[in-house]
A = this chain, B = another copy of it.
Amino acid sequence: MIGVVCLNPALDITYHVPAVDWAGTNRPSAVYARPGGKGLNVARTLHSLGADVLAMGLAGGVTGAEVAVALSELGVPAEITQIAEQTRRTVTIVDGRGDVAAFNEPGPRIAAAEFADFAARYAKAVTRCTAVVLSGSLPPGLPADSYAALIEMTTAAGVPAVLDTSGAALALGVAARPAIVKPNLSELQALPGRPLVTGQGTDLEAVAAAADELRAAGAQAVVVSLGPDGLLAATADGRWHAFPPGAVAGNATGAGDAVAAGLAHALVRGLPWDERLRHAVALGTAAVAAPRAGEFSTDDYTSGLAKVTVRRDPVLRDGAR
């Protein structure tokens, strides 16, 4: 069973409007409401992959109830710790002429006792997990070392942890020695505060050096998602670069969650690093091509596997492709 920690889930509401009147009244032609937030996207992707998954999250209020009901309808097992404040909503307006506007409510404030309640339940559940993914930003009220505390419990149980977050939560989480951390380029760049992108594009050598630093700080492996440039990994089994045949048109929202899900799924299946990265790139690419964030076409995913290029110890300074 793969556990997925979702401390800041959301109810994602999407309206499709053929031609939005940004100064008037609109009647959406389609309305979708579904569980969201990075953690729940990972859990849904793992569930779609056929993995045995358990979403472990904090939720409250009627939007929290709606998230729990929707997860149940999707067949995603979940263990929800109730909180007093209401789970946030996001509203996305998709204009048929091309623009997409998103409105993200602030997350609910989590009380210390609520997180303690969650952690106690987590300590029990983690012993039944083969891996755990911790994904997304921390909601207001939680200290920046909250993921670090959960990772320490995970590692103590002999279970590998995959961490996908940013800022101080990432920096402190790394020190707790997760099996994999998966920053994207801007999250990695923010850590030491130095540029990884130059006028000539992404400086892959600098990315690899920053990834090595995260390994030195505690992470057992670092996988950096580079958008259309694929994944750059620093592992105990060497450096790797894996990338798709070309840029894919579509919606990049949620592609990083697909990558995290793919890494965790390949990890529990015991695949070596080249295959882990191949699966993660194919899944991320299929997610970009899917019309809605957090979804993917199984055909796109499986047919994409053979198209991924994986290089070990690539020569980065000359450009990897």
Interface residues of A (CB under 8 A from B): 13, 15, 17, 20-28, 31, 61-63, 65-66, 69, 89, 91, 93, 95, 99-106
Report B-chain residues with C-beta under 8 Å of the C-beta of A26.
Answer: 101-104
Max chain B Cβ within 10 angstroms of own Cβ: one of A28, A99, A103: A103
How many monomers of this chain does the complex have?
A: 2
**Most B CB atoms within 10 A — which of A61, A101, A102?**
A101
CB pair A105–B63 under 8 Å, yes or no, is no
Question: Does B15 contact A106, Cβ atoms closer than 8 Å?
Answer: no
CA gap between A24 and B27 in the complex, in Å: 21
A-B contact pairs, 6 of them (CB 8 A): A13-B91, A15-B103, A23-B99, A23-B100, A24-B102, A28-B104
CA distance in complex: A189, B34 (Å): 41
Residue of B nearest to A90 (CB): B25
A101 x B63 contact (CB < 8 A): no
Question: Once the chains are docked, how many angstroms separate the CA of A99 from the CA of B31?
Answer: 23
Knowing A22-B22, A91-B13, A91-B91, the reply to whether A103 touches B28 (Cβ < 8 A) is yes
Task: For the complex of A and B, list the 4 residue pairs with the smallest distance between their C-beta atoms, beginning with the closest.
Answer: A62-B66, A23-B99, A25-B102, A62-B62
Whether B21 lies near A101 (C-beta < 8 A) is yes
- A27 in contact with B65 given A22-B101, A99-B22, A101-B20 (CB within 8 Å): no
